[in-house]
Chains A and B, each alone.
Chain A
Amino acid sequence: MRWVKSATHRFRSLFRKSVVEHELDQELRFHLERQIAENVAAGMTPEEARRAAMREFGGVEKVKEECRDERRVNRLETLGADLRYGLRTLRKSPGFAAVSVLTLALGIGANTAVFSMVNALLLHPYKFHDLDTLVRVWEDRGIDEGYDARRIAAADAQDLRGRTKVFESMTTFGWRNFSLSKEGNIQPVLGCRVSANFFDVLGVVPAAGRLFTPSEEQAGFDEVAVVSHGIWQRRFGGDPLLIGKTVQLNGRSYTVIGIMPKDFDYPVPVELWVPLALTPAERAERAELNLEALARLKPGVSVAQARAALGNFSKGLEQEYPKTNAGRITTILELRKELYFYSLPLFLLLQAAAGFVLLLACANLANLIFARMIGRQREIAVRAALGAGRARLAQLFISETLVLSVVAGAVAIMASFWSVSALRKSVPVNWTKWVPGWDGIQVDGNVLAFGILLALGVGVFFGLATVLHTGKVELNETLKDTGRGSMTRAKGRLRSGLVVAQVMFALVLLVCAGLTIQGFVHLASVYQGFEPANVLRIEIALPEKEYPNDVKVANFYRQVLRGSAALPGVRNAALVTNSPASNVDNATTFFSIEGQPVLKASEQPSADLQTANPDYFAALKISLVDGRFFSDGDNRDAMRVAVISESMAARFWPRGDAVGRRIKLGAPDSGEPWITVIGVAGDVRQNWWNPVTRPVIYKPFLQSPERGMTFLLRTVSNPTSYVAPMREVIRQVGPGIAMRGVNTLEEEVVESIAIVRIMGILMGIFGLVALALSSVGVYGVLSENVAQRTREIGIRLALGAHPSDLMRLVLGQALKLTGIGLAIALPISFAVSRAMASLIFGIVSADFRVLLGFTGLLVAVALAAGYLPARRALRMDPMTSLRHE
């Protein structure tokens, strides 16, 4: 409580100053009057008594000042005065103010903008309560399956509920595509089948209506649906009476029971949820990982503890069910980090780059400030002579730089309101709907606090740096010195150090930017192996109810293929499970090679699995390396065949004799049929983050038809004009089947790397800013160094030195500083680029051309910075330069 009193006391002293001053005056006057009265009583004359009392008291003003000091208001008051003084001096030198504010604002703004992305995407991707205790649960089979394939077998999930005690609650779910038919109009809806407790685990409640009950997890009772706010608005026109109505999904009638709040769409970007009603067979499934799972950790249980417990659980299952569960490890990952694999390196890189921009801006500003301090040495000396102590001077400098950085911070934050929303909107919705938290990118409290702290930190740092730089003021020398204040040797070293630092930061940043841009340019052309121009893609998902078996599925696709191939201008009508650039990973499978020894489950080779029709390779112009592609003869009655990718052939049959060999999906002793390799196709990059060399097994569509496939139509021109004819073809074969993901393949490629391109553009901007800042900075310091030597150059010239020697001297110094900076920066840049190459997809490796290019650029800037002022000094008449100063 005492501090409250102190604080109110101080507050009163500060803001009710006149009252407090009056009271102090009265108090002291009372004392003096009593003393005088005492003295008079002791027999002095009034005049004598007054003088004696004053003498005994000491200086009244001095006592008052000491009382004020005790109240500690002085410091606050002078701080206010210093801040006002800082503002005034800035106003008096608008050039310096503008340049330094802009420089700093650039640095702070870059950081604030990037932090707004980090804040939204990495720190708060979801708005669930207690996000840190939510984890994704899946079974790791030892194959790198990526974000899309973190799944768990239903029976294992059931065991997990009963046997481990690390979860407070756990829920399972599975993606499902729906076709919503409304008044004869069919639209695709992305949906999810969820356990009844799904929403409870996430801790969300519906905006209207109710959620699922456990009894609705039974087949036959599961025809109820919860819809998202978005689909309620878009497809049902915000119908206030929607709850209780029935909707047609995949040909079945579902009753809408609830509407979720606006910001809920987990797992993004789902629009509709139905109960997860598993059949007894699905429930007992252990071999196939058929579900996804989420859990909430018990309070106090850490992720590491939970992982350890799950490890034991997996070992137990492995012993119990060696056939299905060998080599599987159940693991978890914080929900927050779900997408870190893709996003973390990119954003860390961006934040680091923004940090470097700020460092560069600081180095530039330091130069400006130190140059100003040299000009202000006399002022400082006068202040010191008048009794300003070191602490008092420090306060003055810190207030000045604080004013500067706070103004810069305000500019940066105001600009970031605009730049952040521009950033958010500049990305096509088609890509960002998959990024949890993207819509949350904004300047919120966290971002504001970050920006303000950054500005204050920079201000205080510069103030302190200035104090240290000013060092001990040599009163006599400075005040005697009639000319401009001169630089001491130590200060010269400091400024040389700044040049070195600037060159260093600049090179590291430029190399990072260069490599990133190069990597992104490279990524744009990364989808090699196929030809995306003039291809239309359409996804189809056939409902299980109407297409229960392979024959019906195959018939549907065969008829649509025939219909689309007959359209005028269609070159090839192709079918594939996962078209390139879809931003979805391929399904992965283990396989065995005939004649090779039986391997342990954990050592079995794995490959991506694709199903394609004979025309697929022609439609995408994928090259044939060996053997043949599929034909219509590779059907259900024929020998099982497969085409494999070039990398797979090279890895497993390095002697080039892959064609004719036999492989089997799964373990060699499994009941799967042996498949004969009939051809080797060129490598195709599936997604920008997948290595192009991943082994792929293509199976002929007729031998393993699937319900969900993608049509790829190569047309003579303008593929989008085939959307309407295709809709008609599909409607004729299967009324009620929705077309999804309709896009040209070319557009799909561009969209799939949208985020990467934004990164590239941002890095490019940072790189340009870095180049500009460091060029200006290096040029400024070096040229001023030379300008200060004008007199020396004049003397040397007058004494007969040859101009070319002098030029060499000046340039040598510039090169020396730059050289030191480069010598420090080159190994750092090299290490950084190596690290980037290993962390970020698409950046191939440290590129010496990039390193050398930027090194040359910086050397050129340094030479120009030395040459231009030196030439001016050399051309000057020695008499003029001697008088220079």
Chain B
Amino acid sequence: MSKPTDLVQGTLDLLILKTVALEPMHGWAVALRIRQVSGNVLQVNQGALYPALHRLEQQGWIRAEWGESENNRRAKYYSLTKAGKKYLQKEEANWQRLSAAIGLVLKTV
């Protein structure tokens, strides 16, 4: 299976960061949440999800802790770090600007 074509790389990072910003979450829940919130439009490729989580952890935007899951299993919970929060705000603003700009172009041209 190849990398997701439906999600640009940077976009997946943004979605993950936004999702774990609410509360600490394990990988499976992150994928589920993105799917649900987007009304089943955004399907996160699971093969890409975990490398992305590890990358974000390596970069220090998120941190991981082991905890008990809903069904009493040990699961790895990801949460946003302070630096990650700042990074998310910046990236969100960037995204808003970019999509607004694209929207403008699409409307007028």
Contact = CB atoms under 8 A, between A and B. Distances in A.
Interface in A28-83: 28, 30-31, 33-35, 37, 56-59, 62-63, 66-67, 69-72
Contact of B50 (A3, A33, A67): A67
Interface in B41-88: 45-47, 50-52, 54-55, 57-60, 66, 69, 71, 73-76, 81, 83
Contacts of B27: 27, 30-31
A2 B83 contact: yes
A388 B25 CA distance: 38
Contact of A30 (B54, B75, B81): B75
A67 B51 contact: yes
Main secondary structure of the interface of A (DSSP, over half): helix
Given A30-B69, A57-B47, A6 B54 contact: no
Candidate in B45, B51, B57 with the most chain A CB atoms within 10 angstroms:
B51
Given A9-B57, A58-B1, A28 B50 contact: yes
B95 interface: no
A59 B28 contact: no
Interface in A499-546: none
A681 B41 CA distance: 109
A729 B8 CA distance: 103
A834 interface: no
Contact of B74 (A10, A30, A35, A63): A30
Contact of B54 (A1, A5, A31, A71): A71
A132 interface: no
Interface in A682-740: none
A688 B65 CA distance: 77
Contacts of A69: 51
Q: How large is the interface on B (under 10, 10 to 19, 20 to 34, 35 or more residues)?
A: 20 to 34
Nearest to A13: B58
Contacts of A67: 50-51, 54
Contacts of B26: 27, 30-31
B47 A63 contact: yes
B58 A66 contact: no
A27 B50 contact: yes
A309 to B, nearest CB: 52
A6 B61 CA distance: 10
A23 interface: yes
A72 B54 CA distance: 10
A58 B46 contact: yes
B47 A23 contact: no
A66 B4 CA distance: 14
A37 B83 CA distance: 35
B47 A62 contact: yes
Q: How large is the interface on A (under 10, 10 to 19, 20 to 34, 35 or more residues)?
A: 20 to 34
Interface string A71-115: 110000000000000000000000000000000000000000000
Contacts of A66: 47, 50-51
A72 B51 CA distance: 11
Nearest to B27: A31
Nearest to A34: B28
A26 interface: yes
B73 A30 contact: yes
B57 A23 contact: no
A34 B45 CA distance: 16
A534 B14 CA distance: 94
A242 to B, nearest CB: 64
B76 A9 contact: no
A56 B60 CA distance: 28
A449 to B, nearest CB: 32
Candidate in A1, A6, A67 with the most chain B CB atoms within 10 angstroms:
A67
Given A34-B28, A56-B46, A57-B46, A23 B54 contact: no
Contact of B28 (A10, A23, A35): A35
Contact of A6 (B45, B50, B59, B75): B59
Given A6-B59, A9-B58, A26 B51 contact: no
B47 A26 contact: no
B51 A10 contact: no
Contact of A26 (B45, B52, B59, B74): B74
Candidate in B26, B46, B83 with the most chain A CB atoms within 10 angstroms:
B46
A26 B76 contact: yes
Contacts of A23: 66, 76
Given A57-B47, A59-B47, A62-B47, A70 B54 contact: yes
A40 to B, nearest CB: 13
Contacts of B81: 5
Contact of A33 (B55, B57, B66, B73): B73
B95 to A, nearest CB: 22
B55 A70 contact: yes
A30 B55 contact: no
Candidate in B26, B27, B47 with the most chain A CB atoms within 10 angstroms:
B47
A71 B28 contact: no
Interface in A1-25: 1-3, 5-6, 9-10, 23
Candidate in B45, B54, B83 with the most chain A CB atoms within 10 angstroms:
B54
A99 to B, nearest CB: 44
Interface in A558-596: none
A26 B77 CA distance: 12
Contact of B58 (A10, A33, A63): A10
B4 to A, nearest CB: 11
Contacts of A72: 58
Contacts of A26: 74, 76
B71 to A, nearest CB: 8
Contacts of A3: 60
Contacts of A70: 51-52, 54-55, 58
Contacts of A28: 50
A69 B51 CA distance: 8
Contacts of B50: 27-28, 31, 63, 66-67
Contacts of B58: 6, 9-10, 70-72
Contacts of B55: 70
Nearest to A6: B60
A285 B26 CA distance: 90
A28 B74 CA distance: 12
Contacts of A2: 59-60, 83
B7 to A, nearest CB: 15
Nearest to B59: A6
A41 B15 CA distance: 27
A290 to B, nearest CB: 69
A1 B60 CA distance: 9
Nearest to B45: A58
Contacts of A5: 60, 81
A708 B72 CA distance: 101
Contacts of A34: 28
Nearest to A66: B51
Candidate in A26, A27, A56 with the most chain B CB atoms within 10 angstroms:
A27
A363 B94 CA distance: 54
A72 to B, nearest CB: 7
Given A5-B60, A67-B51, A70-B58, A30 B46 contact: no
A31 B51 contact: no
Interface string A481-509: 00000000000000000000000000000
Candidate in A33, A70, A71 with the most chain B CB atoms within 10 angstroms:
A70
Given A33-B73, A71-B58, 5 more contacts: A9-B57, A9-B58, A23-B66, A30-B74, A57-B47
Of all A-B residue pairs in the complex, the 8 with the closest CB atoms, nearest first, are A58-B47, A66-B51, A70-B55, A58-B1, A2-B60, A70-B54, A67-B54, A34-B28
21 contacts: A1-B83, A2-B60, A5-B60, A6-B59, A26-B74, A27-B76, A30-B26, A30-B28, A30-B73, A30-B74, A31-B26, A31-B28, A33-B73, A34-B28, A57-B46, A58-B45, A63-B47, A63-B50, A63-B51, A67-B50, A70-B58
Interface of A: 1-3, 5-6, 9-10, 23, 26-28, 30-31, 33-35, 37, 56-59, 62-63, 66-67, 69-72
